[in-house]
Chain A
């Protein structure tokens, strides 16, 4: 059974945060999370960072392809994630800290499944309304 619920185990959580991420956390607006509804197309579990790819369809039917990253597997294992946490075809709501330059790439905040279960990657200061992207 795949583990969808991110469990934050007090005292065992490694001390990583978005601010400590390599490869440019300051490229993303960490002050607010953007909410997107989409379909997972690929979940890459590996170094240097996990990557979640998903398609988002707007009201005109246009599809935008997004890529969001998390901390490396060692850190995400401590947060309850695994290689089986996501699969292509999953319909999800994704909260991301989007690139400041408007590109459809992001630092992942969390993923919420249809049944309400969550995969948390980063603490979210406050979810913004759906973006008109």
Chain B
């Protein structure tokens, strides 16, 4: 409960502090990212995997476009996912499901939730319906020399070409999966996100995943979002160990048991 209140208070403060966007645009050609962005069902949706060659997760561990180091491939294959074609929900090792830990980024973009951007001169606040959670992308800022590893890392941002927000993040801990398919990362992860509003109703996100601790070279992923006007945070999607246990007892365990 406390986390929700803190999140809400910070989000409201951020919105209250936001200067008028037309003024920002006049100064630095800042793209207008306002609105609520839902995974674009007509252009790939969320998928299960960040692999662009295997968005459904059917070739987990053997995708053409993920340059695994051997340990990272073995780790991926050892994980038991809670969703996807070969999910093992009752034995899953997905830390987000087992421990209700934050999904981190980019994992959060593989959930059916909306994202909202609050743009100020100091920072861009990215709000997520899941958690609910938020990130702070500091503008005109540098990363700390030795960032303390944390769930969402340390993000800096800049605008490019008047239409793109570039987010550069380091300082991740190594506890999250990159996606629903158990792709690991280390504290060396360097994530670059490029958010481009291509028209009034569509937002594109290009991602570069650079983690020399887990992958032999940088690799790339992409997500599309559609503008939604149905409302933001109409329900608080909170991970509760108690509610997960209740669901497991009532549905998943009976469905998993051998025979009635």
Contacts and interface: CB of A to CB of B under 8 A. Distances in A.
Interface of A: 9, 11-17, 19-28, 46-49, 51, 67, 69, 71-75, 77-78, 99-105
A51 B250 contact: yes
Contact of B256 (A15, A21, A27): A27
Interface residues of B, number: 48
Contacts of A12: 38, 226, 228-230
Interface in B228-260: 228-230, 234-235, 237-240, 243-244, 247-248, 250-252, 254-260
B256 A72 contact: no
Given A14-B41, A67-B251, A77-B230, 8 more contacts: A11-B42, A15-B45, A17-B45, A20-B83, A21-B83, A48-B243, A74-B235, A104-B254
B113 A22 contact: no
Nearest to B224: A15
Given A13-B41, A20-B48, A25-B83, A103 B112 contact: no
B129 interface: yes
Interface of B: 38-42, 45-46, 48, 56, 82-90, 97, 112-114, 129, 201, 226, 228-230, 234-235, 237-240, 243-244, 247-248, 250-252, 254-260
Contacts of A21: 83
Contacts of A13: 41
Contacts of B90: 24
B89 A27 contact: yes
Contacts of B87: 24-26
A26 B81 CA distance: 12
A53 B41 CA distance: 30
A59 B67 CA distance: 59
B112 A74 contact: yes
Given A24-B90, A71-B112, A103 B230 contact: no
